[in-house]
């Protein structure tokens, strides 16, 4: 599985990124993958490679690039217990100062970069994200309905910007929530907002999961939750990006 590291020009300076794509040449549908708040690290690279093995060019940008290149903060090989609390304490100020406007500026740069890659098939792309990266993914999809055909977010605060964001979403969407993050009542409220906005979506709580459940290098990892995530993400992308997959 070929991989590469990249520098993506943005108005606020270069953003480093990781890309994975199928071997053997050709052009493949693009997927923009926003990592969780802990950033690009081995587990994220492995997930990007897994997704690329299904026929996609996967671009994983460092959306906290204004604070420095990867690793923006030092991340232990296993994020749990007191170490997790310390990592969260270091990364939260960076998340809190990352604005919606910065997300949109970056999305323009990242999507433009994907469109210009010779390995990427022409046409709409998919966007997926984890934790805060899931909210950033939704922002990108809402801001670029003509470019994004599918959006997914996992254990993410997808409603943080309010229902007006959903009103601009035309992409097919899947939102996979941690049981520890969302109550059934909150899920119902979110579903009503998505329906009111006309979003073609699925939104569900993954049983017995905690925030961050997809990340195998943390103490909240849930193997069944990760499998369920792939079972939802892959069909979503395959359906929305079918033409590009076939032509690639």
When pLDDT is cut at 50, 70 and 90, the band that residue 155 belongs to is very high
Tally of helices (H runs) and strands (E runs) in the chain: 8, 8
| Section 30-57 average pLDDT | 98
Beta bridge partners of 5: 18
Determine phi and psi for 47, rounding to 5 degrees: -65, -40
Question: CA 180 → CA 53, 195, 209, 242, distances in Å?
Answer: 31, 24, 6, 34
Q: What pLDDT does residue 173 have?
A: 98
Are 203 and 180 spatial neighbours (Cβ–Cβ below 8 Å)?
Answer: no
Strands 30-34 and 57-61: parallel
Q: What's 113's domain CATH number?
A: 3.40.50.1820
Cα–Cα distance for residue pair 210/182, rounded to 1 Å: 10
Cα–Cα distance for residue pair 191/202, rounded to 1 Å: 8
Range(s) of the domain holding residue 198:
3-247
Q: What angle do CA 101, 14, 28 make, to 5 degrees?
A: 90
Q: What pLDDT does residue 242 have?
A: 83
Q: By C-alpha distance, which of 77, 83, 85 is closest to 217?
A: 77
Count of domains for the chain: 1
What integer best gives the mean pLDDT of the chain?
Answer: 96
When pLDDT is cut at 50, 70 and 90, the band that residue 243 belongs to is low
| Section 92-114 average pLDDT | 98
- pLDDT tens-place string over residues 180-229: 999 999 999 999 999 999 999 999 999 999 999 999 999 999 999 999 99
Q: What pLDDT does residue 153 have?
A: 99
DSSP state, 72? S
Q: What pLDDT does residue 246 have?
A: 57
């Amino acid at each position: 599985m070929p991989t590469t590291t990249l520098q993506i020009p943005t108005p606020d300076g270069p953003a480093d990124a990781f890309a994975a794509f199928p071997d053997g040449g050709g052009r493949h549908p693009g997927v923009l993958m926003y990592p969780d708040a802990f950033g690009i690290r081995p587990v994220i690279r492995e997930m990007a490679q897994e997704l690329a093995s299904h026929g996609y060019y996967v671009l994983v940008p460092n959306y906290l690039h204004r604070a420095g290149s990867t690793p923006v903060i030092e991340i232990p090989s296993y994020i749990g217990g007191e170490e997790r609390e310390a990592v969260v304490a270091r990364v939260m100020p960076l998340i809190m100062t990352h604005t919606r406007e910065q997300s949109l500026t970056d999305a323009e740069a990242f999507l433009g970069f994907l469109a210009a890659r010779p390995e990427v098939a022409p046409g709409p792309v998919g966007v997926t994200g984890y934790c805060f990266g899931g909210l950033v993914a939704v922002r990108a999809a809402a801001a670029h309905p003509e470019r994004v055909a599918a959006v997914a977010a996992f254990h993410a605060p997808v409603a943080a910007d309010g229902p007006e964001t959903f009103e601009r979403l035309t992409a097919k969407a899947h939102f996979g929530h941690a049981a520890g993050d969302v109550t059934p009542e909150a899920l119902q409220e979110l579903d009503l907002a998505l329906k009111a906005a006309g979003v073609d979506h699925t939104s569900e709580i993954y049983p017995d999961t905690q925030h961050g459940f997809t990340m195998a290098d943390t103490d909240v990892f849930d193997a069944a939750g990760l499998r369920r995530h792939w079972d939802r993400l892959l069909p979503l992308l395959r359906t929305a990006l079918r033409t590009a997959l076939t032509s690639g």
